[in-house]
A and B are shown apart, each in its own frame.
Chain A
Amino acid sequence: MSAEPLQALANVGKGESTRTLLRVVILFLIAGAAVASRLFSVIRFESIIHEFDPWFNFRATKYLVANGFYSFWDWFDDRTWHPLGRVTGGTLYPGLMVTSGAIYHALRALTIPVDIRNICVLLAPAFSGLTAYATYLLTNEMTPSPSAGLLAAVFMGIAPGYISRSVAGSYDNEAISIFLLVFTFYLWIKALKLGSMLWGALCALFYGYMVASWGGYAFITCLLPLHSFVLICMGRYSTRLYVAYTTWYALGTLASMQIPFVGFLPVKTSEHMPALGIFGFLQLLAFLDYVRSAIPGRQFQTFLWLFAGGTFGIGLAGLVIATSAGVIAPWGGRFYSLWDTSYAKIHIPIIASVSEHQPTAWPAFFFDLNMLIWLFPAGVYLCFQQLADEHVFIVVYALFGSYFAGVMVRLMLTLTPVVCVAAAIAVSNVFDAYLIVKSPSTEDRQVEDVSEAVAKKAKSGLKSTSKPVVGVYSLISKGAVVSAMTVYLLLFVLHCTWVTSNAYSSPSVVLASKLADGSQHIIDDYREAYQWLRQNTKDDAKIMSWWDYGYQIGGMADRPTLVDNNTWNNTHIATVGKAMSSKEEVSYPIMRQHEVDYVLVVFGGLLGYSGDDINKFLWMVRIAEGIWPEEVNERAFFTPRGEYRVDAEASQVMKDSLMYKMSYYNYNNLFPPGQAQDRVRGARLPEVGPTLDVLDEAFTSENWIIRIYKVKDLDNVGRDHAAASAFERGLKKKKVMKKRGPRVLRVD
């Protein structure tokens, strides 16, 4: 009697519609968890745009919302890269801004007045929910197991490798493009499996959206042809592949060429050539397929060799000629750095100076993926076992993704989806085997054996092709494995939460510190200084700073800048680097020529804030040296013993540089004489601080993180600034002299 309610309870999960409902509920919960785990920074700080690049995206979104789509498309921004300006509308990926703009207008139409900033801040978490769903769909294509998809969705939702680029406030292109990446892959698999033109077209559509959103679209552009190529090499050419690939390539390329920034790149640059090559190759194969069905086998052999060899030769020659003639652009610097990790350091310091372009350290894999990284090979192995077309995709993606993730830190992002999918396949495989409470009884086995024997006889196949019946009998081993996996999963959640909370949830615009009583103290120097610039300088005052702060100044201070994070003009950046690293007499003409009104430097010496300009200074020197090797010399900034110092031992060139002077000007007055201390570099500074002739201190923030200097106008009586300020100092000295009593003639 008592078994009946239990039975009824057990039967609840068995109906088809109940299962669907459960799945929907679980997926919603996963999306909720994905969103919630990204909100640390909003709860701890506020709804604020993070870091550097997002500030530009935010500013562009505000421009789009205020001025409409067409003026956004034609936007020429004269408030950056002064005096050059930037054709912003044609040099950005508009997908992100248009998405936010569309959401904004949709909400307005429903009369829900949401601030555009809140949309921008919460866009990445919202899309992470969608990414989890897309991963669910992609995994479901790989395995019949019902749990794999849900596990993959959970992994994707909370894996730190993805959270690092999608916390609330990190309003960057990656925020939406990881969703687009995974969804495009799902549509590709679907199109390939069904050989469907409709799915192929949908795949092209989302590919187009992806191209509109992120430069990382090249990953898809290379991965899909590679997958096709591997399939062809495995002898798996089919009309399904032909239909899916040609539909995607033709429509997708057309879609991508609609973006002004991409334009004709898909037919001009080397990165896009594999896709074009495979497209041509597939046409040949289709043609050969047709020929083979039309002519007899022997003739076909000779025809094949001649035809294939000829086409390959012509194609290769054409490519070489086109590249050398400059029709096809040679590989870009960022591309070379993907193969040789030390390439950028030698040839393009500006790429190497960005921390996220550094090669990945091994612990980073465990940090960002935790247990997924050791489940990943197991999942890939399981794919090898089945090895249908879609499993080949996972294998290819895994290889490709792992390599690139090892080369550049930021490409960990593209690896994460495949790791989640593979790991979910592995975990679900384990659970599917061990979570069945009922042990296979011997009778069942006999029955199975009998039925199998019958089937065997009927098929009379090889013994190895039939799977042996395996089952886990002991409840203890089931319990042990299941509980171990559960503990791992729980630890994984713990690790993800910890990493997200500690490593990826700081806005970096606002710093937090703990007071002695444990309460949180906000250090808000950046915004203090930016707000001061915004309110108390004239509207078109040009600000010179290192390029890292360009986007923030544009977004928060709303003032024109010389250089910013869109590092399109290396010479202009080198000019700023030269002005920062040269003597005042050299820098002043540069600043006058560029109409600089204020110079902004970041100084962490008082607070011990290590991300300041003195620590970045060597990159400025290197980049300037790349353009003016005679005038700027990196070696001269080191002491004779090769140390990088800022104290009294520092080299004279270092002490004379504008950056050094601006950082430490007036700093020693804050301390008792001789006690001035730089807390970042742990150095005791010389008792007499540097003097500035061509600049005036205009503003210093509360904790001295931001220091702003005003460029002096030309002297009223035509002296140079050094003479003028020496004169002023001289006057004071004379007064001191007078106190010493009457002069005495010196008698020899």
Chain B
Amino acid sequence: MKTSAVLSAVLSFLSLATPGSAKSSSRVTLPSTFTPPQVFKNANLVHIISVEKNYVKENINVAIENIDKAPQDEYFLPFTADQISRLGGFEVKDRKDASAGPFAVDVVEFDLESDTQYVRIRLPTPLKSGAQQTIGISYYFLKAYKPLPASIKQEEIQFLAYSFSAYLPSAYTSTKQKTEVKFPSATIPDYTKLPGSGDIKEFPVKQGSKLTYGPFAEKPAGAIEPVQVRFEFNKPVSHVSRLERDIEVSHWGGNVAFEERYTLYHRGANLSSLFNRVKWQQSQYYQPLSHALKEIKFPLRVGSADPYYTDVIGNVSTSRFRSNKREALLEIKPRYPLFGGWKYPFTIGWNSDAKNFLRRLSGGGYVLNVPFLEGPKQPEGFEYEQVEVRVILPEGAENVKYSTSIPSSSIKEAGVEVHKTFLDTIGRTTLVIKARNLVDDLRERELVVTYDYPLLASIRKPLIVFGSMVALFVGTWLLGTIDLKFATAK
């Protein structure tokens, strides 16, 4: 059952990309005078901003209407240059037709100097003149908040501020729109107030932990209304500036080894006075919630074994691993509680049986199905700026293809390299995928790699080791037979 699912996944994705020509998110270059043609109208737009986690998740559900005479299939969404650099996980789906799959998305490159950049969404079928379609756009912003106040005391509560526009900056006229902001708690001490319209006197409307701006009347293309919200977020603002994830497949050992190297930062409020151990120890008893990062939990795949947790100066003993038939939970603690502005790079790794991930295809060849991202699962979220996944296949593996359910706009580049390690002669085929701006919401997404692994390649290493040992013994024997002594006269 599972095999067939994998197979179908492989077949459906293989067309997506091959590593040789793997610039699936290639930027589209347009002339610098480009402006999106006014061919659409946003008939109804709901913009949901979620600041519940330490990244921002935005959902735009919009009914678009073609107001041009010809059928159109290119919808543009504007962002600022700064936003584009922090934008990740961009996905567009048809709200009415779930099976339509994600739409093709490109970042348009037209003028590097311009502050306005566009993301182009290509509808799978051109929209006829006057017709409507409801699409759902979702994406994430990383490094979205700034702590306010920027530095607080150890035992104080952390507040974050987020700025955005009350109207969605759109390239098209919006007839009707509203913006909802979801918060982690109901404590929202400051937010920008706007004059209301209709029966509502003043925007936003506060409902528990939710603020709603709108509904607004018709707004022209490009209209913005900057607002800022400041809310309680007494949780760590974890940020991984770089994650290197190695997946090493061993056919001889029947093992898949994972290693992940994190460069972790806390982007929250800095300490206004330096770290005080007495206060920290006392607060552990009567106020366990803190904006410091104390513990990270990695729910690994069931069957993971031999975990390790180290940093640059050796093993870190403060970790626990709970493994049974239902779960494999790795809980690690940094060497010190991580406060705002502090940094803690570390490495974790574990092994797993190859049969959990690797299948042999009926046509020869192998298919490897691993999670693209297996980072921690924290209630406050986890964000990754740079991710480099390296799949180290056995020596001699060839014809490598991959596909992934990670939004293709997040993948920067992919290629095949050679990695030389234990007694390799030609080196191992390594698939390197670089992605950016990912978040822990995407940790269930999979990476499927297919490759061929001929028999000759699999017995290459034993043959070479055997051959060199034989050569060594024969060489020693030959050397031993040489007589270096001077003949003694008798």
Residues of chain A touching chain B, judged by Cβ–Cβ distance below 8 Å, are 45-48, 110-113, 510, 522, 524, 527-528, 530-532, 534-536, 556, 666, 669-670, 696-702, 704, 710
Contacts and interface: CB of A to CB of B under 8 A. Distances in A.
Nearest to A509: B314
Nearest to B315: A46
A527 B275 contact: no
Given A524-B335, A531-B336, A535-B344, A670 B278 contact: yes
B281 A699 contact: no
B336 A669 contact: no
Contact of B313 (A531, A670, A700): A531
A48 B315 contact: yes
B312 A528 contact: no
B319 to A, nearest CB: 11
27 contacts: A47-B314, A48-B314, A111-B420, A111-B422, A111-B424, A111-B425, A113-B421, A524-B317, A524-B335, A528-B336, A531-B313, A534-B312, A535-B343, A556-B313, A666-B277, A669-B278, A696-B274, A697-B275, A697-B276, A697-B277, A698-B274, A699-B274, A699-B277, A700-B275, A700-B276, A700-B277, A701-B336
Interface in B420-461: 420-425
Contacts of B67: none
B311 interface: yes
B275 A698 contact: yes
> Considering the complex of A and B, which 7 residue pairs feature the smallest CB-CB distances, nearest first?
A700-B277, A522-B317, A46-B315, A528-B335, A535-B343, A698-B274, A556-B313
B422 A113 contact: yes
A697 B277 CA distance: 9
A673 to B, nearest CB: 14
Contacts of B345: 535
Select the residue from B278, B318, B344, B421 with max chain A CB neighbours within 10 A.
Answer: B278
A702 B273 CA distance: 19
Contacts of B420: 111
A691 to B, nearest CB: 15
B316 A524 contact: yes
Nearest to A703: B277
Interface majority SS on B: helix, strand, loop or mixed? loop
Nearest to A532: B336
B356 to A, nearest CB: 26
A229 B314 CA distance: 51
Contacts of A527: 313-314, 335
Interface residues of B, number: 28
A536 B344 CA distance: 8
Interface in B294-324: 311-318
A725 B273 CA distance: 15
Nearest to B427: A111
B342 interface: yes
B105 to A, nearest CB: 37
A531 B335 contact: yes
A194 to B, nearest CB: 14
B429 to A, nearest CB: 15
Given A524-B317, A666-B278, A697-B276, 12 more contacts: A111-B421, A111-B422, A112-B423, A113-B422, A531-B313, A531-B344, A532-B335, A535-B342, A536-B341, A666-B277, A697-B274, A700-B275
Select the residue from B277, B336, B342, B343 with max chain A CB neighbours within 10 A.
Answer: B277
Select the residue from B315, B335, B344 with max chain A CB neighbours within 10 A.
Answer: B335
A531 B314 CA distance: 10
Contacts of B318: 524
B377 to A, nearest CB: 24
Given A666-B276, A699-B275, A46 B314 contact: yes
A556 B425 CA distance: 35
Contacts of A699: 274-275, 277, 336
Nearest to A48: B314
Nearest to B318: A524
Contacts of B278: 666, 669-670
Contacts of B344: 531, 535
Contacts of B341: 536
A171 B278 CA distance: 37
A135 B277 CA distance: 53
Given A48-B315, A531-B313, A670 B274 contact: no
Nearest to B421: A113
A323 to B, nearest CB: 48
A113 B428 CA distance: 14
A111 B422 CA distance: 5
Contacts of B312: 531, 534
A284 B306 CA distance: 70
A723 B317 CA distance: 44
A710 B274 CA distance: 9
Contacts of A701: 277, 336
A670 B284 CA distance: 13
Select the residue from B313, B318, B422 with max chain A CB neighbours within 10 A.
Answer: B313
Contact of A536 (B313, B314, B343, B425): B343
A698 B343 CA distance: 15
A527 B344 CA distance: 13
Nearest to A535: B343
A669 B341 CA distance: 27
Interface string B323-366: 00000000000011000011111000000000000000000000
Interface in B256-290: 273-278, 281
A35 to B, nearest CB: 21
Contacts of B313: 527, 530-531, 534, 556
Interface in B86-108: none
A46 B273 CA distance: 36
Interface in B39-93: none
B78 to A, nearest CB: 39
Nearest to A530: B313
Contacts of A45: 315
A128 B423 CA distance: 27
A160 B278 CA distance: 43
Contact of A670 (B281, B316, B317, B335): B281
B5 to A, nearest CB: 37
B330 to A, nearest CB: 17
A68 to B, nearest CB: 21
B421 to A, nearest CB: 5
A697 B281 CA distance: 15
Contacts of A524: 316-318, 335
A482 B244 CA distance: 63
B270 to A, nearest CB: 11
Contacts of A534: 312-313
A110 to B, nearest CB: 7
Nearest to B314: A48
B293 to A, nearest CB: 13
A528 B216 CA distance: 54
Select the residue from A47, A112, A531, A532 with max chain B CB neighbours within 10 A.
Answer: A531
Given A532-B335, A670-B281, A111 B423 contact: yes
Contacts of A670: 278, 281
Contacts of A696: 273-274
Contacts of B342: 535-536
A698 B274 CA distance: 5
Contacts of A535: 342-345
A406 B312 CA distance: 41
A585 B315 CA distance: 41
